[in-house]
Amino acid sequence: MIGSTLPLLFLDVDGPLIPFGAANGYPAYGTGREPQAADANPLITRINPAHGPRLMALPCTLVWATTWMSDANECIAPWLGLPELPVVTWPDPSDDDIRGGLHWKTRPLVDWADGRPFVWVDDEITDADRSWVAAHHPGQALLHRVDPRQGLTERDFTLLGQWLRRSTG
């Protein structure tokens, strides 16, 4: 779907970028665009703007894989200083996926990747998703679950960078 040969990085928003569920609250970050961002969604100030340059430095093609869909480009990309990114369009989940414990994003992401190496960063990945991808995706894949209470951490960026560098060269 995308012309580059770099691995894809499918990025979810809620959980990996916008942490939630912690007992002690969250820091609020600023970029100088707070009123506009807060109008779009007050949770955006939970997103660490330093994640933008870190994501752009990874050897991959970033793709929004979120229910925010095109709103991610309108609200979150400017906050992070990212360019407009491709967006996965989601079909309706199938009953077979729901019964089998497969996440509703799994099949569409494998279809989108079309054999290319990919990383999927999400807070809802399970062993069922890992098993299905291993059986149905011919390329390399890393399904990386992020703790939604913390969002992306230094450890996550280190692991993602190492995996992506190995898969590109």
pLDDT tens string 136-154: 999 999 999 999 999 999 9
CA distances 62 to 24, 56, 96, 167, Å, are 31, 8, 29, 15
* The pLDDT of residue 157: 98
Instruction: Please choose, from the candidates 34, 85, 35, the residue with its C-alpha nearest in 3D space to the C-alpha of residue 56.
Output: 85
For every one of its 169 residues, what pLDDT tens digit does the chain have, with 9 covering 90 and above? 455 789 999 999 999 999 998 878 888 887 665 545 556 677 888 999 999 999 999 999 999 999 999 999 998 999 999 999 999 999 876 666 566 789 999 999 999 999 999 999 999 999 999 999 999 999 999 999 999 999 999 999 999 999 999 998 6
Please tell me the predicted confidence (pLDDT) of residue 91: 87
Find the angle CA(19)-CA(20)-CA(22) to the nearest 5 degrees: 110
pTM exceeding the 0.85 threshold for the entire prediction: yes
Domains and their CATH numbers in the chain: 8-168 (3.40.50)
Looking at residue 35, what is its pLDDT?
46
pLDDT of residue 94: 66
Q: What pLDDT is attached to residue 154?
A: 97
CA angle 8, 113, 71 (to 5 degrees): 65
- Tell me, what's the pLDDT at 36? 56
Task: Give the model's pLDDT for residue 131.
Answer: 96
In angstroms, the first-to-last Cα distance of the chain is: 22
